[in-house]
Structure 1
Amino acid sequence: MVSTSTAPSWDVRRLPRADGRVVLVTGGNAGIGYFVAEQLSATGATVVLGSRNGAKAEAAMASIRTRVPGARVRAVRLDLAGLSSLAATVASLDVACLDAVVLNAGVALDNPPRRETGDGHELMFATNHLGHFALTQRLMPLLSAAPAARVVTMGSFAAKSERLDPDDLHSRLDYRPKRTYARSKLAQMHFGLELDRRLRAVGSTVASVVVHPGGALDSLTPSRPPLPVRTTGARLRAAPAAFLVQGKHAGAWPAVRAVLDPAVRGGQLWGPRVFGLRGAPRREPVWKHLTDTSTAARLWDTSCHLTGLDLHLDHDLGTTTPGQPRSG
């Protein structure tokens, strides 16, 4: 068990400077990803928003520049559901090295029917896990070129009560939208921890950290024009919930700390301080089911098969062997 009372103090409103660093935030145009990008921009880092929608990315950048004068922020097109497009996304970064990537983007469907990508993968599993798995593999040479890069995986508190079914990762036998979403986030978290184990095994300088935002509601989130604005009525109706959960600006805090804090180590899990649902970020014990290394290793092998990518790590030099994405 890890003591959570010994973590160094951290002020979410007085972040350390990160001038010269480059960070990619997937899904940085909205929600928690937007606030990760805004908060990192205020440290002097160059922040790259990965977004499918160019107009939404432009709106997010306009908001960040309004709140952070001189912000170094730009965008690249990123479609995690289109595995064949990821090589072009990485090339468009046009950087010699990458100091961090925050794997935040995600799809959450509320109602049936079940949907698939063009590669034949269930949409939430494909976007939330497989897309990030493949993107990270393609980013590894850039991450390895940085002095001490970090891969920060944004999990979900919803994954705490779920378990993976390795024989039904695409939810063909049992599709329930909320459950499928939670399992896709659990797959992401397993990947983040397994990645760190493999990086440590080869002595890599890249670290992989897993975080979750706790309970983060739109209705408790401050408005950021020209992004969609929360109405006064919605904020008032949500006010009682603030005793238990928080807005998406606070849900970003664990990821921001995982990028910036030198005390954070690979293989750790970070989330909100109060019952894992709200408050300042703190290290917490890795959930018991996330310590199942056999499930994580099996997921890794299956993900390699489904994406057509196989990562070979060799002392800080990541090389990716591409193949063809497979349905399954």
Structure 2
Amino acid sequence: MTWQNYSSAAGKTFLITGASAGIGYFVAEQLAASGATVVLGCRDTAKADLAARTIAARVPDARLRSVRLDLADLASLPVAVADLGVDRLDAVVLNAGVLLAGADRRCTARGHELMFATNHLGHFALVGHLAPVLAATENSRVVTVGSFAVRSERLDLSDLQSEHDYRPKRTYARSKLAQMLFGFELDRRLRARGATTASIVVHPGGALDSLTPSRPPLFTRTTAQHLRGLPASLLLHGKHVGAEPIVRAVLDTEISSGQLWGPRVFGLRGRPRRETPHAHMADPDTAARLWVASSALTGVDVSPR
């Protein structure tokens, strides 16, 4: 299903973090085609402007804005939310993420491990700062983007920031698992308060650049890259298809808070479908303890209104 299968989103406003590249870009492009105002939340304003121009060239009458959003800089988030300047926000898509490849552990100015800080703590704090405007918008949504990689990982609450066990791929997967645990815990807290805001968790499956269509000048896939990636299409897909579970979670009013959505085929490729989360992705005790730790690390009280 594409955005055309849903009613028009004209008049609505959606914020997508990390919208200047990869899956986030395609989420923004597809949501722009729904008639909504799409706000690209990006650390690099030049890349955000380029992404907006690329979308505008493909989507007639696209309603686009951008706001500088650096999730690794917690002190900047209240300013970013103020710059957003909206009195209603129908959905925020917590998509931005960083995957480091080097063996050296990197930290933010506050001393937080960079992947955990960007992928989880920044989004945790952002939702806290957005809570008033989300609460003021009837049936608003928080869509948290996890990863297929979390299936093989478990969260170590005694080493959340990988101070004692830093392996880039593991640290990345654990940061995304933290995000998914947050999304399910947010749902529980919203429901306990009788809020109309929904918290939905999604993942894009396996998405490769080589299977992703070009979006020049933002991204160009060569013929050679495409041919090299074709064998992988049996199990994986492009980032434009990986965006579809996220777009559906934003637009499909029949999707309920607390659900998990991902690709249909082995959770790796294909059209969106509802999934049953593995127990460790939504464990209430782990999620509650992570929530307390995240609040202490960020200094933000994420209290659903």
TM-score range (shorter-chain normalised) is over 0.9
Pair 1:248-2:239 in alignment? yes
1:204 paired with 2:195, answer yes
Secondary structure at 1:180 match in 2:
helix
1:52 to 43, 46, 69: 43
Matched, 1:132 2:120: no
Q: Tell me how far apart the structure 1 counterparts of residues 303 and 167 of structure 2 sit (CA, whole Å).
A: 35
Give 2:23's aligned residue.
32
Q: Please state whether the residue corresponding to 1:195 is helix, strand or coil.
A: helix
Note the C-alpha offset of 1:82: 0.1
1:213 to 204, 207, 213: 204
Runs of 4+ in structure 1 over 6 Å off: none
Deviations 1:220-272 (A, max 9, x none): 10010110211111111001111110000000000100000011011100000
TM-score (norm 1): 0.91
Letter in 2 for 1:189: M
- Whether the aligned pair in 2 keeps the contact of 1:51 and 1:77 (CA below 8 Å) is yes
Contact 1:12 1:280 in 2 (8 A): no
Q: Distance in 2 between matches of 1:104 and 1:312?
A: 21
1:99 paired with 2:90, answer yes
Query: 1: distance between equivalents of 2:28 and 2:134?
Result: 18
Secondary structure at the counterpart of residue 100 of structure 2: coil
Amino acid in structure 1 at the alignment position of 2:200: V
The equivalent position to 2:284 in structure 1, one of 290, 293, 301, is: 293
Deviations 1:113-142 (A, max 9, x none): 100000100000000000000000100111
The secondary structure found in structure 1 opposite 2:67 is strand
Partner of 1:7: none
Partner residue of 2:297 out of 279, 284, 306:
306
CA separation in 2, counterparts of 1:16 and 1:114? 46
Letter in 1 for 2:235: L
| Equivalent of 1:186 in 177, 184, 187 | 177
Q: Distance in 2 between matches of 1:167 and 1:282?
A: 34
Q: Which structure 1 residue ranges, 5 or more long, are not aligned?
A: 1-9, 319-328
Identity %: 65
Give unmatched runs, 5+ long, in structure 2: none
Within the candidate set 50, 57, 63, 1:66 is matched to: 57
Aligned to 1:6: none
Tell me which amino acid in the other structure corresponds to 1:139.
Answer: L
In the alignment, structure 1 residue 145 sits paired with structure 2 residue 136: yes
Deviations 1:22-69 (A, max 9, x none): 000000111000000000000000000000111110110011001101
The residue aligned with 1:3 is none
Verify the 8 A CA contact 2:2 2:244 in the aligned structure 1: no
**Letter of the structure 1 residue corresponding to residue 38 of structure 2:** V
Query: 1:81-103, CA deviations, whole angstroms, 9 ceiling, x for partnerless residues?
Result: 00000000000111111000000
Which position in structure 2 is the counterpart of 1:324? none
State the aligned residue count.
Answer: 305
- 1:317-328 to structure 2, matched below 5 A, reads 318=305
SS in 2 for 1:198: helix
Any conservation in 1 of the 2:10–2:35 contact (CA below 8 Å)? Answer: yes
Distance in 1 of aligned mates of 2:185 and 2:86: 26
Q: Name the SS for the 2:176 alignment partner.
A: helix
Task: Give the whole-Å Cα distance in 1 for the aligned partners of 2:131 and 2:225.
Answer: 42
Kept in 1: contact 2:112–2:161 (CA 8 A):
yes
Shift of 1:288: 1.7
